[in-house]
């Protein structure tokens, strides 16, 4: 991306010059695109560890922007209702029996006791594990943004706490000043606590790696989960804050990037859309609308091969950053010294005595 962008900039800068000056940058801009296109057939999409039928439950949320801060109970009720409809459809044979059901970020609130009769009822009806996103409270009063695995007949088991928290939403810098400009201070008397490890769940016969909302933008979150054995990736998110703008599509594009990067199918589950099923080659094979109550049920492949990108992790970034620092240092070191002109006296230039 950087090479293509810089090359295109050089084409624009040199556009009015002779062709020999801009044809080199033009070729350079095209080469990465051709290489990417040529590599497409090498992206693995076939199942390597079987398949699972996964259900993504989008219960919907009010389109009220920041006013969503006061709608937690409404959002929860919507998702419990949509999950209940899924259970009824499965019992009636209208949709396939899923192996795993995923509900989005902020679709629930978990007390320290982790008791929830509604989730118990739905898990029992479906007889499959649920992965449920929500705000979770601990016995010591700490709060975090979590995904909780809910097993039928057992209740809450494994949990993952979001690692990359969002400023002015999940933690408040300069809290006293921020209170004047953001309503989140009113809702959260204390900052959320960040997790410190990858989220990988054994659920429904699959190893599922999780990134919550904009964690999908951070390389290490799903990279660590995949290296820890994830065969399928999930991105539970709450996009309702952002209305009908482009944010949800930008985040979906990030999820498609992660699918190709790690060679895994990705299930995007949003409160208000767009939820989507993304195949390991980045193809979207199912999606929902915005501000609708819908459930996607689709069979996805489980894969175990680690791509070069997964194996290398952040090493290419560190290497390129080091090269950039080295380039700047070399440019400073090799910068020629400025030559100061000799002073000229009032009587004219000096004359060599030998003349």
**Is 73 marked active-site?**
no
**Dist CA 172 CA 169 (whole Å):** 7
User: Is residue 88 within 8 Å of residue 126, measured between CB atoms?
Assistant: no
Per-residue model confidence (pLDDT) at position 49:
94
Work out the percent of the chain whose per-residue pLDDT is above 70: 94
Domain extents in the chain: 1-30, 51-311
SS (H, E, C) 319-337: HHHHHHHHHHHHHHHCCCC
Q: How far is CA 20 from CA 3, 7, 25, 101, in A?
A: 19, 14, 10, 59
Tens of pLDDT, residue by residue over 69-82, are 889 999 999 999 99
Tens of pLDDT, residue by residue over 149-193, are 999 999 999 999 999 999 888 998 888 888 888 777 877 778 999
Q: Which position among 53, 82, 105, 215 bears the catalytic label?
A: 105
Tens of pLDDT, residue by residue over 79-103, are 999 999 999 999 999 999 999 999 9
- The token duo for 169 is 């939403």
Q: Which position among 53, 82, 120, 162 bears the catalytic label?
A: 162
Q: What is the mean pLDDT of the chain?
A: 92
Per-residue model confidence (pLDDT) at position 58:
98
Q: Which position among 82, 120, 213, 298 bears the catalytic label?
A: 213
Helix residue spans in 201-274 (DSSP H): 219-227, 247-262
pLDDT value at 252 more than 70 = yes
**Is 213 marked active-site?**
yes
- The token duo for 83 is 């999950």
**Is 6 marked active-site?**
no
Fold of 51-311: Nitrilase/N-carbamoyl-D-aminoacid amidohydrolase (3.60.110)
Strand partners, 133: 147
Tens of pLDDT, residue by residue over 284-333, are 999 999 999 999 999 999 999 999 999 999 999 999 999 999 999 998 88
């Amino acid at each position: 991306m950087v090479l293509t962008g810089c090359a295109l900039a050089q084409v624009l800068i040199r556009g009015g010059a002779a062709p020999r000056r801009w044809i080199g940058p033009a070729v350079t801009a095209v080469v990465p695109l051709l290489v990417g296109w040529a590599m497409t057939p090498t992206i693995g999409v076939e199942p390597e560890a079987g398949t699972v039928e996964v259900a993504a439950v989008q219960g919907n949320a009010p389109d009220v922007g920041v006013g969503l801060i006061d709608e937690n109970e409404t959002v929860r009720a919507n998702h419990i209702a949509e999950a209940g409809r899924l259970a009824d459809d499965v019992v009636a044979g209208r949709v396939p029996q899923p192996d795993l059901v995923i509900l989005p970020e902020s679709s629930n609130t978990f007390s320290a006791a982790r008791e929830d009769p509604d989730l118990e009822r739905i898990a029992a009806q479906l007889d499959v594990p649920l992965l449920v996103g929500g705000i979770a409270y601990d016995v010591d009063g700490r709060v975090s943004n979590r995904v909780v695995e809910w097993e039928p007949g057992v209740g809450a088991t494994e949990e993952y706490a979001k690692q990359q928290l969002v400023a002015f939403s999940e933690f408040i810098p300069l809290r006293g000043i921020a209170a004047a400009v953001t309503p989140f201070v009113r809702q959260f008397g204390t900052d959320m606590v960040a997790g410190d490890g990858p989220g990988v769940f054994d659920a429904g016969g699959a190893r599922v790696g999780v990134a919550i909302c904009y964690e999908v933008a951070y390389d290490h979150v799903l990279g660590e989960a995949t290296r820890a054995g994830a065969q399928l990736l999930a991105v539970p998110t709450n996009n309702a804050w952002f209305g009908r703008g482009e944010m949800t599509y930008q985040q979906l594009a990030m999820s498609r990037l992660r699918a190709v990067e790690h060679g895994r199918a990705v299930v995007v589950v949003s409160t208000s859309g767009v939820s989507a099923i993304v195949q390991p080659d980045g193809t979207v094979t199912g999606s929902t609308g915005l501000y609708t109550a819908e459930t996607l049920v689709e069979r996805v492949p489980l894969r175990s091969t680690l791509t070069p990108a997964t194996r290398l992790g952040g090493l290419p970034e560190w290497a390129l950053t080091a090269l950039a620092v080295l380039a700047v240092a070399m440019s400073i070191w090799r910068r020629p010294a400025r030559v100061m002109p000799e002073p000229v006296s009032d009587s004219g230039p000096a004359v060599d005595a030998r003349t």
